Amino acid sequence: MKYLDEYRDPDLAKRLSREIHRITTRPHVLMEVCGGQTHAIVKFGIDELLPVGIELVHGPGCPVCVTPLELIDKAIEIASQKNVVFCSFGDMLRVPGSEKDLFAAKAQGGDVRIVYSPLDALKLARDNPEKQVVFFAVGFETTAPANAMAVYQAKHQGVSNFSILVSHVLVPPAMEAILSSPNNRVQGFLAAGHVCAVMGYTEYEPIAKKYHVPIVVTGFEPLDILQGICLCVKQLEEGRVGVENQYTRSVRQDGNARAREIIEKVFCVVSRKWRGVGAIPRSGLGLREEYREFDAEQRFGVSQYSAEESPDCISGTILRGIKKPHQCPAFGNTCTPERPLGATMVSSEGACAAYYRYRKHQPQKDAAVP
């Protein structure tokens, strides 16, 4: 198969693992930003192929996990209204709000539907003019172009019964927030490959320089991640600092110009609250004035909601790489995928869910020399 099996080749994986062992002379802490990378690391057991000195901490790269509690509550409120068709990607449906999740809202009569693309939601709106169709626009920069396009088309085609509930966040401000925190332990980053496929990676250069951290744009298959780690460790060992691109088959330095164009047309940078982390200035996207009519929060009058997190959920410290899931007292007992306390346990990309699914009986990592 093209582009999959080759990047899961066990012999090449062992070779990369040996190389990483060879060049590592002292401990390093690396953070992978994207939830898809966390998922791959735990699923394929990549950290078992690393020397004991390399520690991988998991960043806030799961847009599902960082969507604030009150936004879930707003989504549920909108979805529960008569005449509303609420569309979302699959994993948002299980994220717990203050009282329940969107699946429960569906069971209680809300018209909640899973879609694969915001344009499917737009089509639903066109086909059902008597309904209000709302799309839960969650994601990092990766999903922003499609969401922007849906709103752009809605405006220019006069589909007035369509709106989006926006929860877009940006990666670079999150990285800066982590790096500027006094507890920060992260010394190198694996940047999110698909975010960079859209945005390019020039915006990481000032970050690498300012905080003196190597940043390697990395893909999602085992070999991508191992190679990304190898390049990052090499920089650290050699005392170099810079932005490198491991994911060359998908990422160019200036990203995808057309995608960035549509994002800039429809969205503007706003401050956003990150679940478990707090408010980060200029860290998200919101609709521009001329597209504000498609903002579901405004249309349904839910802008003023606020909510309290569960006191037992430490997903904030996990998202910042300060703690690991199995260090949480609730992990595996009061907090499980069936009854999650926080989003990191619900989303399949969340660190807690990944640990639970693949690791729950193994608290310690063993060093594996290939």
Shorter beta-carbon distance to other proteins: residue 237 or 367:
367
> Shortest approach of other proteins to residue 152 CB, angstroms?
20
> Shortest approach of other proteins to residue 63 CB, angstroms?
7
Shorter beta-carbon distance to other proteins: residue 2 or 26:
2
Shorter beta-carbon distance to other proteins: residue 140 or 204:
140
> Shortest approach of other proteins to residue 320 CB, angstroms?
21
Shorter beta-carbon distance to other proteins: residue 88 or 132:
88
Shorter beta-carbon distance to other proteins: residue 200 or 222:
222
Shorter beta-carbon distance to other proteins: residue 17 or 235:
17
> Shortest approach of other proteins to residue 368 CB, angstroms?
7
> Shortest approach of other proteins to residue 142 CB, angstroms?
5
Q: What is the 3-state secondary structure (H, E, C) of the chain?
A: CCCCHHHHCHHHHHHHHHHHHHHCCCCEEEEECCHHHHHHHHHHCHHHHCCCCEEEEECCCCHHHHCCHHHHHHHHHHHCCCCEEEEECHHHHHCCCCCCCHHHHHHCCCEEEECCCHHHHHHHHHHCCCCEEEEEEEECCCCHHHHHHHHHHHHHHCCCCEEEEEEEECHHHHHHHHHCCCCCCCCEEEEEHHHHHHHCCHHHHHHHHHHCCCEEEECCCHHHHHHHHHHHHHHHHHCCCCEEECCCCCCCCCCCHHHHHHHHHHEEEEEEEECCCEEEEEEEEEECHHHHHHEHHHHCCCCCCCCCCCCCCCHHHHHCCCCCHHHCCCECCCECCCCCCCHHHHCCCCHHHHHHHHHCCCCCCCCCCC
> Shortest approach of other proteins to residue 308 CB, angstroms?
25
> Where on the chain is the footprint of other proteins (CB under 8 A)?
1, 4, 8-10, 13-14, 36, 42-46, 48-49, 63-64, 89-94, 114, 116, 138-140, 142-143, 194, 222, 336-338, 348-349, 356-362, 368, 370
